[in-house]
Structure 1
Amino acid sequence: MPIYSWPLRVYKVSSDLLRLPNVRESPFYVGLGNGRIRCTLCHRQCALSNGQAGLCRMRLNIDGKLYTTTYGLLTAAESRPMEIKPLYHYYPRTSALTISTWGCNFPCAWCQNWHLSKFASIDGVYVPPEKLIEWAIENGDSGINISFNEPTLLTEYAIDVFKLARARGLHASINTNGYLTPQAIKALFDAGMDGMNADIKGGHETYRQWLAADLNKLMNTLEYAIKLGIHLELTYLVIPGINDDEADEVINAVAKLGRDVPLHITAYYPAHKLNNSPTPTKLIEDIWRRARKELDYVYVGNIPGHPGQHTYCPRCGTILIKRFEDRVIDVKLVGYKCPRCGYEIKIRGYIGRYGNLYRRFI
């Protein structure tokens, strides 16, 4: 039977929260009358009466207005390489100051960062947008990334941060379950976000049974992101007994977005409330080989040293970018082209240098 794991709220909803610097009115809602409102940030479209919180537990109806409790409320801030996101074709060999808050709008029982996503709290460190940019520049990071828990929860803060990041020449990206509405994606894009790794957690049945969600809504958002010009990569965590029989459905869905959309096929290890067996390497390799027939850029994750970590020329097969675990260790590109056959490789941004990796600010 499916296991649902929604965030646990550990604070009381009241107007007293309005005194906190992290509690801000959100523009992502519409009124429904009689003090009720609908949140329009994600496809959940939570309808809230006064005093209610959304399924993410971090968005509230207080006196007929929608408030976020997460503006600048950070639970982590750490410099990380883009390759660990994974974003292999987005500013390779650079690092981003990576931040998170509390809560999530998905009930994944296998969450790797459950200690952040499965709790809704008002505890944490309030960091003004200007301070975050200062940290990134001081550390030698090339960008800002929102990850660990679901970045949808930080949208209002991200908009302000990304505007400042763009003004200082920093790239801006998110790691997301992709369930944002087109309105939210457009707002983030207009602020400066141009990179995104989204989970594709399986086929229609996994979304329906395990996530109480709709795969079609995810795909519509991803199509819109590509239309805007956002660089997109996808991650498929293969979980035995849950979504491993939907690999072909996942591959076909990604191929419809574009043959050049990178897909990361990642091995699962037991976490949170799910104790299924780890994904066999043979299964990952089988899906990797099948996917490479339909897609130009397919990668293997969570198996250190696997040849599926490298970028190969789609035309002649030459290794163009070598990686080990979360680092780029060699680049053979000449002006983003294969030195052997001249094929141009899809890459957003420049190939740079890492900042002071894994330095923690929070």
Structure 2
Amino acid sequence: MREAQFYNKIEDLIFCNLCPHGCKLSEGQNGTCRVRKVIDGKLYSLNYGKISAINLDPIEKKPLYHYKPGSLILSVGSVGCNFSCGFCQNFTISQTGETFFTTFISPEELISIALKYKEKGNIGIAFTYNEPSIFYEYIYDTITLLKDELDIILVSNGYVNQSPLKDIIKHVKAINFDLKAYNEDFYEKICHGSLEPVLKSIEIAYNYTHVEITTLIIPGLNDSEEEIDKLSLWISKLSPNIPLHLTRYFPNYKFQIEATPIETLVKLQRIAKKHLNFVYLGNVLLPSNTVCPNCNKTLIKRNGFEVQSFMTSNQCPFCSFEIEYIKI
């Protein structure tokens, strides 16, 4: 355990200020995330250093398609989440606060592991699998020790308050935000959160680091043409070059809706491309190449997680068009 950051005490109550839930807790109570608990009048992070999964992954698996394509990243996760989505693909670790099956790895040990993997192509550490913001203290301590020797990457639902986000995002090299939907009703009823704080997190992060966005398309819930049009238009106002990943849903956890038809994804990709230059489809066996928006030539060819890049800089090698949002 480690004492949590971002909380205050008023009389006998603890107020957690890490995320927009703003949990008001009494002695012995856990927050919505399941992993922040009041013990002896202080708030503690129960999942500090408790690692549930650690793997050397292709960076495309995050998914990040425009950040050092073809590289590998040491990916780590813990337990807990401040959302409770019924379709969660990692529900065995995200929807629990139990840590008996985890392994403790100190920030120093994690950095040592990541550095050892550099010879295999590892570029850094990705905090992923469960929501990293509720692993805040561990990430913060790791970043403090790391001192830019490796890249720090996050895969997040974006449901975090502005002050904690700003304190950490300037040290993060890239982040993929899981923008669940573009309607408040979805967030309230299915995620048990709200949309606006997520949009604000994306706006803040865009001013500091490389951002990509993923939306899992669930039939009948967030797959309307109108919603994806609005979602992609909103992203384009930040930048039309931010990559959007539209991902195929499969039944999981509490959701037994049939898998997203591929035709739906293709249709929604076409709609999103009215506003965005780079829209990819995930969880499907379809091409996911990066194409120059000016000359339409293939810049990065992908076959699953096998990647072939024809770029040596931010300029298209075929027409010299400058693509501002690719980090080679």
TM superposition shift of 1:34: 1.8
Question: 1: CA distance between counterparts of 2:217 and 2:163?
Answer: 30
TM-score (norm 2): 0.94
Aligned residue identity for 1:317: N
- Structure 2 partner of 1:153: 134
Q: Which of 146, 152, 165 is 1:185 aligned to?
A: 165
TM superposition shift of 1:349: 4.2
Deviations 1:179-230 (A, max 9, x none): 111112122224x212110111112221122122221111111111112x12
TM-score (norm 1): 0.85
Question: 2: CA distance between counterparts of 1:84 and 1:287?
Answer: 21
SS of residue paired to 2:135: helix
Question: 2: CA distance between counterparts of 1:137 and 1:56?
Answer: 31
TM superposition shift of 1:116: 0.6
Task: Work out whether 1:65 is the aligned partner of 2:45.
Answer: no
TM superposition shift of 1:248: 2.1
2:290, 2:299 within 8 Å by CA — same for their partners in 1? yes
Question: 2: CA distance between counterparts of 1:241 and 1:99?
Answer: 33
2:241, 2:325 within 8 Å by CA — same for their partners in 1? no
2:228, 2:271 within 8 Å by CA — same for their partners in 1? no
Query: Unpaired segments of 5 or more residues in structure 1?
Result: 1-22, 351-362
Identity %: 36
2:289, 2:302 within 8 Å by CA — same for their partners in 1? yes
SS of residue paired to 2:76: strand
State the Cα RMSD in Å.
Answer: 1.4
SS of residue paired to 1:142: strand
2:127, 2:153 within 8 Å by CA — same for their partners in 1? yes
Q: Which of 66, 86, 89 is 1:109 aligned to?
A: 86
SS of residue paired to 2:266: helix
- Structure 2 partner of 1:164: 145
Aligned residue identity for 2:30: A
Cα gap change, 1:235 to 1:167, in 2 (>3 Å): closer
1:291-310 equivalences in 2 (<5 Å): 291-304=272-285, 306-307=286-287, 309-310=288-289
Aligned residue identity for 1:211: C
Aligned residue identity for 2:4: S
Task: Work out whether 1:273 is the aligned partner of 2:250.
Answer: no
Q: Which of 114, 118, 129 is 2:107 aligned to?
A: 129
1:35, 1:63 within 8 Å by CA — same for their partners in 2? no
1:200, 1:250 within 8 Å by CA — same for their partners in 2? no
Query: Unpaired segments of 5 or more residues in structure 2?
Result: none
- Structure 2 partner of 1:37: 14
Compare 337-346 and 67-76 and name the one that shifted more. 337-346
TM superposition shift of 1:345: 2.1
2:69, 2:309 within 8 Å by CA — same for their partners in 1? no
Deviations 1:318-361 (A, max 9, x none): 11001112231x111142211121112234644xxxxxxxxxxx
Question: 2: CA distance between counterparts of 1:261 and 1:167?
Answer: 24
Aligned residue identity for 1:91: K
| Structure with bigger RCO (C-alpha 8 Å, 6+ apart) | 1
- Structure 2 partner of 1:90: 67
SS of residue paired to 1:67: strand
2:71, 2:123 within 8 Å by CA — same for their partners in 1? yes
2:246, 2:282 within 8 Å by CA — same for their partners in 1? yes
1:252-267 equivalences in 2 (<5 Å): 252-267=233-248
